[in-house]
Amino acid sequence: MNNWQHFFNNPVDLSEHLKKPYFRFDNRDKEITAISFDEKANLIWSGDSYGCISSYDPTFQLYTRYRGHIGGNSVKDILSHRDGILSISEDSLHFANRRGVTKLNLTSIDIAAFSELNTMCYSPHSLKNNIYCGGDNTNWGIASIDLNRGCLDSLLNYSSKVKLMCSNNKVLSIGRQTGTVDLLDPTSNRTIKSFNAHSASISAMDLRDNTLVTVGKSKRFYNLYADPFVNVYDLRTMRQLPPVSFSKGTTMGSGGADFVQLHPLLPTVMIVASSSGSFDFIDLSNPTLRTQYVHPCQSIKKLCLSPNGDVLGILEADNHLDTWRRSSNNMGMFTNTPEMLAYPDYFNDITSDGPISVDDETYPLSSVGMPYYLDKLLSAWPPVVFKSEGTIPQLTGKSPLPSSGKLKSNLAVISSQNEKLSTQEFPLLRYDRTKYGMRNAIPDYVCLRDIRKQITSGLETSDIQTYTSINKYEVPPAYSRLPLTSGRFGTDNFDFTPFNNTEYSGLDPDVDNHYTNAIIQLYRFIPEMFNFVVGCLKDENFETTLLTDLGYLFDMMERSHGKICSSSNFQASLKSLTDKRQLENSEPQEHLEEYLESLCIRESIEDFNSSESIKRNMPQKFNRFLLSQLIKEEAQTVNHNITLNQCFGLETEIRTECSCDHYDTTVKLLPSLSISGINKTVIKQLNKKSNGQNILPYIEYAMKNVTQKNSICPTCGKTETITQECTVKNLPSVLSLELSLLDTEFSNIRSSKNWLTSEFYGSIIKNKAVLRSTASELKGTSHIFKYELNGYVAKITDNNNETRLVTYVKKYNPKENCFKWLMFNDYLVVEITEEEALKMTYPWKTPEIIIYCDAEELRKPFFSVDTYSINYDILFRDYFANGIRDTARREYKLLTHDEAPKSGTLVAIDAEFVSLQSELCEIDHQGIRSIIRPKRTALARISIIRGEEGELYGVPFVDDYVVNTNHIEDYLTRYSGILPGDLDPEKSTKRLVRRNVVYRKVWLLMQLGCVFVGHGLNNDFKHININVPRNQIRDTAIYFLQGKRYLSLRYLAYVLLGMNIQEGNHDSIEDAHTALILYKKYLHLKEKAIFEKVLNSVYEEGRAHNFKVPETSKG
């Protein structure tokens, strides 16, 4: 943060309007109490002790001024809003547009909680539609105001005096008068963390993303002194970081820190200042990197940084506003994307009955009327318009320099200068034509609004499966970002037909960590892995959650025959597994990405500019984590298998040798091979051996490489040069390769046409893997293995720098004895040519994970779970979660082997769910509704009852409550019947089971061919995450449907069965039994051939009563 310069113009007196003659006899303080930059316009706003709000442009010309607060109360705080300016006094809130027209004004008469207010901030998750107001009045707490409705939304219980408040998208940070900082969760109205920031009081506080900084004062010798440090807190770990000192022991200034603010654009930079005038720009990642300045004044009263970070506004003690500016921002603009300002609104001219004397000083001259003009006068234009870049230059009268004709080409001079500028620390990066295209070419205009509309509403279905383009720099439509499938009616009303014309199922991206879908698709087409994972479903492996959920997902994708599937259960197991490991390591991480970052696979992870982008090396880290976990869980299965260990295991010998002659040898079994940066000289030598540039030299180098580094020897304890040699001793049937190359290395790869070879041969010669393109080059060796490319995952980077993962796989067709290539982009599946699949010359395509399989392995058939002998015992016994006693109340009767289900057996089912996360959407100015964050639900209860005629007809044999230890936002008790505590193993009195147990029961019934009866089964099966064949579904919501108006189960039971159900909370057993009776009623009406007539009368009566059941009278 260098190049800051003091703008040496005359400081502007912001209190000049308070020095009018009619204020002369007022003994009140005439001070400026608040300043703030506008985030949407090039304006700076100020509030004074009389409740007036004023705004100034970059030349400090007055734009507008209005009275915001009546009663003479001073302005306490100012906030910039997209539609105007918010300000508060001690007893009122004012909201006006930038012209000064009032939009909302609330006082203590309207809201009793408005008393002794000090500060305000926006509410988390509200998109600046709600604000919180707090102050010294502890009787009411903190008031939440809804700006759209203009009224009080809610009150947060808070019993301390509030001095400062700020928020991010998760929590509300509150600075008390006593110096303590509380972090409040507005959703639960609970203080989740408190920090004793300062011993006496807090002076300033700022919060941005997950970083919180505070400055304050301490009491020493009965006086308050500013602390000479800044407290820094990381809200991800809820811990305090080491404090950062301020001007301690320097000549730039003394005293403590009174002001602090985080840079609006640079997340690790903050500005700290003292009231004496000294201020520092400090880098939080390295506090020793700081730039110090001193503002020449007596003292500072307020300080703020502009939204673009280029202008620093300082309010001095005498109410003069002075600025510091970056040398690159000579124009002094406050924001990079300013909105066009409208003409301000002024008060009506004052009229009088007679002429006014010129010497009458009590009459304001601003009230003298002027003629009105439709256009702005030239004299009112700001002078910056005539001095800005892009205006027509003035004529100088000088002629251009004549051409001598002897000027030599300066290309050689420029080239030599560039070579001198290039250093090892700062190399000269040449223009990459393969990535950015031709130089000086004007790119096509892309409207961001059209892109957002396209993502929301969907792509053109006519060319969505086009996977080639004329221009290699243009991303084809098949690789584009797909629209969300969740909507008002879920995925039922989304047409997937244009996106998939094959028999292979795609995956829904509406899940957490959706980038894992690409890796799941990759391993789903490895025959040995598919057969083993699906084969594990024949046994009850309840302790291997990730392995079994992956098997259920593979089985569902195989059975769906092109219908979209969801990996939500797999993601839930992934989350619970990472949570368990975090508890074991005592290092909590909030998301899967943070957990994978803790795995030491390669360098640190870098974020792209877009929030939708995939973090660098994250697919590689997840790939190794997935394979390691699956190999670990296969040993825990009933049969203690080692199939995946044999398929993927790379026996790696690691020999470590020090310069002091100490060496150590260890052997590890790695599930995948990491291919990182390789020396250029080594690559050239290996390319000569392989007769061309391809992937084989990279694999050979990764299988045997030597690295050196300086470290402490464990034997002698000295710093020695340690040489580490890693050698792979075997060639498994499946090679999983993780590419972690640099951009320059990928540029060399794109210049080669056949870098990704379709097949190669390998052998172990002298304890070293040797790979060649043909078998003839390996003659004389004992065992030669032939490998063929099975598939790979590629990262697609579009023009907006957004990234996504796609999968290329090769599938063998035994009938035609040939292979075909498929490309998966979430739920888009398209068959492509082999030439297109192997093409690596596209600048927007980067390989991430590559799978090579043994040629014989690749031609093996895929076996479904039907070929195995399946264990059905769970249908006839209970399997409760840990801590649940058999004494819990039972509302069902287990099946016996005599009534074992078979194909066509009728069962009725109903499921209940709880809400883990509500839906978050936004509506733009055109009324288009787009979903930002879809809702998340969890299975809470499943009831299945007998549907066959007999003594036990209608008796449930499954009534399981599902364990849920996650945060539940809404139990939906009215619709689910689930009460708080019912799903907690420590508090519940219900018979709880784990999710994989109840899922297996439903899956086994589907496997046996049972017919499911229910109401709204599509929604139930979607949340259970199972695709049941249509011939096994009897949905009464579909049977009794006319047009598009679905009828509720309660209404149908009332008009057709004469039953009044769901009078209180829902009960899944009652709902399932009602749906069964309703299905029997449907069969009876169809048999009598009066179904259509009855259905018409049901809808006619329903329209008359708005499809509602009459309320029963209570005597």
Tell me the C-alpha distance between 234 and 553, whole Å: 38
Tell me the C-alpha distance between 555 and 999, whole Å: 13
What is the 3-state secondary structure of 238-304?
CEEEEEEECCCCCCCCCCCCCEEEECCCCCCEEEEECCCCEEEEEECCCCCCEEEEECCCCCEEEEE
Tell me the C-alpha distance between 967 and 758, whole Å: 48
Quick one: how many helices (H) and strands (E) in the chain? 23, 51
Name residue, tokens 């052997």. 667
Tell me the C-alpha distance between 791 and 521, whole Å: 10
Q: How do beta strands 1011-1014 and 1033-1035 pair?
A: parallel
Nearest to 536 by CA among 628, 633, 439: 633
C-beta separation of 909 from 1035 below 8 A: no
C-beta separation of 121 from 140 below 8 A: no
C-beta separation of 570 from 520 below 8 A: yes
Q: Say if residue 826 carries a ligand binding annotation.
A: no
Tell me the C-alpha distance between 513 and 527, whole Å: 25
Nearest to 159 by CA among 130, 186, 136, 128: 136
Q: Output the six-digit token pair for 1007.
A: 């496997």
The DSSP element (H or E) to which 929 belongs, if any, is strand 929-933
Tell me the C-alpha distance between 1072 and 906, whole Å: 12
C-beta separation of 65 from 58 below 8 A: no
Helix axes 527-535, 516-524, angle to 10 degrees: 100
SS3 1052: helix
Tell me the C-alpha distance between 732 and 650, whole Å: 7
Q: Say if residue 777 carries a ligand binding annotation.
A: no
Tell me the C-alpha distance between 26 and 799, whole Å: 62
| Rg of the chain in Å (alpha carbons) | 36
Name residue, tokens 């992937």. 695
Tell me the C-alpha distance between 557 and 549, whole Å: 12
Name residue, tokens 């590629």. 794
3-state helix, strand, coil in the chain (%, to 5): 25, 30, 45
Partners of residue 21 on adjacent β-strands: none
Tell me the C-alpha distance between 544 and 637, whole Å: 7
Tell me the C-alpha distance between 270 and 250, whole Å: 19
Q: Say if residue 495 carries a ligand binding annotation.
A: no
Nearest to 477 by CA among 724, 830, 905: 830
Q: Say if residue 743 carries a ligand binding annotation.
A: no
In the annotated binding site for a divalent metal cation, the residues are 910, 912, 1020, 1071
Residue numbers belonging to the annotated binding site: 910, 912, 1020, 1071
